[in-house]
Amino acid sequence: MEKFRAILNKIKPLGFSKKSKLLDIGCGTCISKEFFLCDFYGIEPSKNLVVQHPLGQEMINNKKVAIDIAENLGNYFSPKKFDFIICVTAAHHFKEPKKALRAIREKLKETGIVVFSLLKNTEKQTEYEVLKYFRIINKTRPTAQMKDTILVCSPLPT
Ligand SMILES: C[S@@+](CC[C@H](N)C(=O)[O-])C[C@H]1O[C@@H](n2cnc3c(N)ncnc32)[C@H](O)[C@@H]1O
C-alpha cells in the first residue's frame, strides 16, 4: 500500500519507532497495523471491517480499537496520549469535521504529529478545516502512483 509506505517514510525522520503510540482514524480493516509496527490504536465505525483483521476482535476487547466515528473520539483514550495520529482516506467522511479535528488535536501530544491522506477532490475543503487546528509542516501532492494529497501536521496551541 503506497499511501502507508509514503506516510511511514515521512514520520520515520520525525521520531516514529516501535515504542510510538499511533492512532489510526477510520482504520477500516486495520491493514495499517502491518505497516506501522508500534503501539497501535484505532477508531473505526464499522465493526465488520475491524474483525476482518486476525487481531480485530481482540483489539476491540482490549480497547485498542474503538468502534465509533472520529467525531466521538473524545469518549475514548486519554488526552495527549498519542505520538502519531494518521487518517488515511477517511476525513472526507467526517459529518462534523470541526468536532472530529478538535478531538484529534486533543488526543495528540503537544509534540505529536498527525498525517492526513486526503482523497482527490476533497483535499481543498479538508485542508481548509485542518488549518483551524493544525500547522501543515509538509504537503505532498498526488502522483501517478499515489492519488491522495498527504498533509503532515503539528497541533496549533489550544
Ligand atoms: C476509504 S476507507 C479507508 C480505510 C483505511 N483508512 C484504509 O486506508 O485502508 C474509509 C474509512 O473511513 C471510515 N469512516 C466513515 N465515516 C467515518 C467517521 N465519521 N469517522 C471515522 N471513520 C469513518 C469508513 O468506515 C472506512 O473504514
**Number of domains making up the chain:** 1
Residues 6+ apart with CB under 8 A from 70: 25, 26, 43, 87, 90, 94, 100, 103, 104
In angstroms, what is the span from residue 93 Cα to ligand 1's centroid? 7
Asked if pLDDT for residue 150 goes beyond 90, the answer is: yes
Give the range of the structural domain holding residue 54, as residue numbers without chain letter. Answer: 2-155
Q: How far apart are CA 79 and CA 76, in angstroms?
A: 9
Query: Tens digit of pLDDT for each residue in 44-87?
Result: 999 999 999 999 999 999 999 999 999 999 999 999 999 999 99
Q: What is the pLDDT of residue 1?
A: 86
The region, left, alpha or beta by phi > 0 then psi within -120 to 50, assigned to residue 42 is beta
In angstroms, what is the span from residue 69 Cα to ligand 1's centroid? 9
Q: What is the pLDDT of residue 122?
A: 95
Residue 26 Cβ inside 6 Å of ligand 1? The answer reads yes
Residues 6+ apart with CB under 8 A from 69: 43, 45, 94, 95, 100
Q: How far apart are CA 123 and CA 129, in angstroms?
A: 10
Residue 44 Cβ inside 6 Å of ligand 1? The answer reads yes
Q: How far apart are CA 46 and CA 158, in angstroms?
A: 31
Helix 97-107 / helix 123-130 crossing angle, nearest 10 deg:
50
Q: pLDDT band for position 145 (50/70/90)?
A: confident
Query: Tens digit of pLDDT for each residue in 100-126?
Result: 999 999 999 999 999 999 999 999 999
- In which residue are the cell numbers 498526488 written? 142
From residue 108, alpha-carbon distances to 75, 104, 157 in Å are 14, 6, 11
Nearest CA to ligand 1 atom 24: 26
CATH of the domain at 140: 3.40.50.150
Residue 40 Cβ inside 6 Å of ligand 1? The answer reads no
Q: What is the mean pLDDT of the chain?
A: 97
